[in-house]
Amino acid sequence: MEIQEILSEQKMFFRTQKTGNIRFRKMYLEKLKDLIIQNENVLYEAIDRDFGKSEFDTATTEISFILKDISYYLKNLNILTSPKKVRTNLANQIGKSRICTDPLGCVLVIGAWNYPYQLSLSPVIAALAAGNCCILKPSEIAAHTSKAMAKIINDNFPPEYVYVYEGGIEETTELLKLRFDKIFFTGSTKVGKIVYKAAAEHLTPVTLELGGKSPVIVTKNASLEIAAKRIVWGKFLNAGQTCVAPDYLLIEETVQEQFLELLRNYIKEFRYEPGSGHYTRIINLKNFQRLIQLIDKEKIYYGGNYNEEKLYIEPTILSNVDREDDVMQEEIFGPILPAISFDNFNTALNSVLEMEKPLSAYLFSNSQEEKDAFTQKLSFGGGCINDVVMHLGNENLPFGGVGNSGIGSYHGKYGFETFSHQKAVLERATWGEPNIKYPPYSEQKLKW
Ligand code: NAD
């Protein structure tokens, strides 16, 4: 069936209002949960074929994440969908006011390849929980995981409700011509702009989950040992192919030497070596070649080796990096950590302010003054103090960017709201009419 026909069928199905029924939503969320559990090994195998990721990593950063999302909605759906009473102002007395959450209709989710299950299915789950029909277009770059999701969903769900449409630029361009009620896109800022333009044609609302250069700032007031351990984990997880990974390090000059040594020790301790089973390869040759161009041999503090045939790049730290260096001109999205030193905390903050607003920002410090300045002065999608990446795992926090790093957010109730319309309803009593609002407007009324 052509994708236009599937969308037409979804539109007709949505009009039956079946997807709005709470029992229907829960039934299919349960079904998806069962399918994920039953097919766990298929999902592990597919991601391993795409980029050599260990089962442990996939279980913790992908599968458990999706299952947690489903459980959240199953548990909270009744509360999330119940109309919220709000106060009614004097001019609308006698009356009652409430906000009802409506599904938007037929939504399009476009996924990225780096956490292919989480970034595709998490928005789909929120969309279904909110009562919508959905078409998912996973990233063609992670071809095996895309196929696995298509098989699991298309074999088990009615296409007029949920459908996975596989493909690359051509297919996405075709999809973007169609009229959806919402587009949820995860990917680069460059493609985000293409999606936004296409959505504007139909006045379709968008959520854009984009990227950027996320800084991690380490000051002399930090617990350096734990900072190094957490940064090494967050940076080299998935070989740096994580949208919220610390992109570059801003390190206070006086502790730089000590800190870089700690980073090096943890890389070794974590056995981030090709083939160790703890370290992922680069997704494809194009990205591999882009990344190795960013390694300035003169500035290598640690690592810098790579294997083109196996698509592995060793965890690499660059020191004495300048703002003007190539590695600072674009989001790295790989296992290269440039370190830039600073002698004054405010200078470090100002240097972040000079760049585009990042998806994430991190600070390691035990100084309250520095923590306050970090949260008050910097604008970023989300972040952590004394950790990296982990804010994304708290479903009580909204996850999304700001400025160039995105529009809108999701996770938990924010995901539900992203795929809902907040409908305002005022219900008036048919008695107690205040006649003052009706013409003719006598002198006496005007005085009042
Ligand atoms: P991408 O923008 O290249 O691709 C994302 C999606 O857009 C894919 O499904 C792809 O098929 C489609 N696409 C690509 N080019 C297109 C075009 N010209 N027209 C229409 N559709 C097109 O991004 P990617 O390489 O998959 O992911 C890396 C980027 O995504 C990084 O910038 C990263 O920071 C960002 N990212 C953000 C988040 C987040 O949650 N904010 C999560 C993961 C990745």
243 belongs to the catalytic site = yes
pLDDT score for 435 = 78
- From residue 419, alpha-carbon distances to 106, 163, 191, 289, 357 in Å are 10, 17, 21, 38, 25
Q: In what side-by-side order are the strands of the sheet with 336-342?
A: 300-302, 316-318, 336-342, 248-252, 215-218, 360-364, 382-385
The amino acid at residue 283 is I
Task: Give just the sign of the alpha carbon dihedral 205, 209, 210, 212.
Answer: positive
The helix or strand, by DSSP H or E, that contains position 182, with its residue range, turns out to be strand 182-186
Residue 447 reports pLDDT greater than 80: no
Whether a cis peptide bond, with omega within 30° of 0, leads into 295 is no
Burial class (CB within 10 angstroms; exposed 0-12, middle 13-18, buried 19+) of 114? buried
Q: For 399-407, what is the mean pLDDT?
A: 97
What residues does 306 pair with on adjacent strands?
313
Ligand 1 lined by 277 (C-beta under 6 Å): no
pLDDT score for 114 = 95
**Three-state secondary structure readout of 421-439:** EEEEEEEECCCCCCHHHCC
Q: For 121-139, what is the mean pLDDT?
A: 98
Per-residue DSSP letters for 364-406? E---HHHHHHHHHH---SEEEES-SSGGGG-TTS-B---GGGE
Greatest CA separation for the chain: 88
395 belongs to the catalytic site = no
- The residue whose CA is least distant from atom 37 of ligand 1 is 210
| Least confident interval from 114-123, 173-182, 270-279, 335-344 | 270-279
pLDDT score for 122 = 97
CA of 428 to the centre of ligand 1 (A): 48
Per-residue DSSP letter, 129: H
As a whole-number percent, the residues of the chain with pLDDT over 70 amount to 100
Q: For 342-347, what is the mean pLDDT?
A: 96
Check: CB of residue 148 under 8 Å from CB of residue 42.
yes
pLDDT score for 445 = 74
Residue 20 reports pLDDT greater than 70: yes
pTM of the full structure: 0.95
Residues 151 and 160: their CA atoms lie apart, in Å, by 16
Confidence of residue 323 (pLDDT cuts 50, 70, 90): very high
CA of 188 to the centre of ligand 1 (A): 4
- The residue whose CA is least distant from atom 32 of ligand 1 is 188
Check: CB of residue 334 under 8 Å from CB of residue 313.
yes
pLDDT score for 448 = 66
As a whole-number percent, the residues of the chain with pLDDT over 90 amount to 91
134-192 pLDDT, tens per residue? Answer: 999 999 999 999 999 999 999 999 999 999 999 999 999 999 999 999 999 999 999 99
Mean pLDDT (the chain, rounded) = 96
Per-residue DSSP letters for 10-62? HHHHHHTTGGG-HHHHHHHHHHHHHHHHHTHHHHHHHHHHHH---HHHHIIII
The amino acid at residue 49 is R
- The residue whose CA is least distant from atom 26 of ligand 1 is 112
Residues 115 and 121: their CA atoms lie apart, in Å, by 10
Among the options 106, 133, 134, 243, which is catalytic? 243
282-318 pLDDT, tens per residue? Answer: 999 999 999 999 999 999 999 999 999 999 999 999 9
Mutating to test ligand 1, I would choose from 69, 188, 195 the residue with most ligand atoms within 8 A of its C-beta, which is 188
CA of 6 to the centre of ligand 1 (A): 24
pLDDT score for 272 = 85
pLDDT score for 4 = 96
CA of 442 to the centre of ligand 1 (A): 63
Ligand 1 lined by 406 (C-beta under 6 Å): yes
Check: CB of residue 290 under 8 Å from CB of residue 364.
no
**Three-state secondary structure readout of 60-126:** HHHHHHHHHHHHHHHHHHHHHHCCEEECCCHHHCCEEEEEEEEECCEEEEECCCCCHHHHHHHHHHH
Ligand 1 lined by 280 (C-beta under 6 Å): no
CA of 233 to the centre of ligand 1 (A): 23
Angle of CA points 363, 366, 371, to nearest 5°: 50
Phi, psi of 83 (to 5 degrees): -60, 140
Residues 398 and 264: their CA atoms lie apart, in Å, by 33
- The residue whose CA is least distant from atom 9 of ligand 1 is 139
Residue 274 reports pLDDT greater than 80: no
- The residue whose CA is least distant from atom 43 of ligand 1 is 243
- The residue whose CA is least distant from atom 1 of ligand 1 is 187
Own/partner pairs, 379-382, CB within 8 angstroms, 24+ separation:
379/403, 380/214, 380/405, 381/357, 381/405, 381/406, 381/409, 382/244
Confidence of residue 415 (pLDDT cuts 50, 70, 90): very high
What residues does 109 pair with on adjacent strands?
136, 184
pLDDT score for 29 = 98
Check: CB of residue 107 under 8 Å from CB of residue 181.
yes
Ligand 1 lined by 164 (C-beta under 6 Å): no
pLDDT score for 273 = 79
Q: For 340-352, what is the mean pLDDT?
A: 97
CA of 331 to the centre of ligand 1 (A): 12
Among the options 9, 62, 160, 209, which is catalytic? 209
Q: For 382-387, what is the mean pLDDT?
A: 98
Ligand 1 lined by 398 (C-beta under 6 Å): no
Residue 276 reports pLDDT greater than 80: no
Q: For 333-350, what is the mean pLDDT?
A: 97
Ligand 1 lined by 114 (C-beta under 6 Å): yes
Residues 142 and 232: their CA atoms lie apart, in Å, by 25
* Domain architecture of the chain: domains with CATH: 3-210+405-425 (3.40.605.10), 215-392 (3.40.309.10)
Number of neighbours of residue 203 by Cβ within 10 angstroms: 7
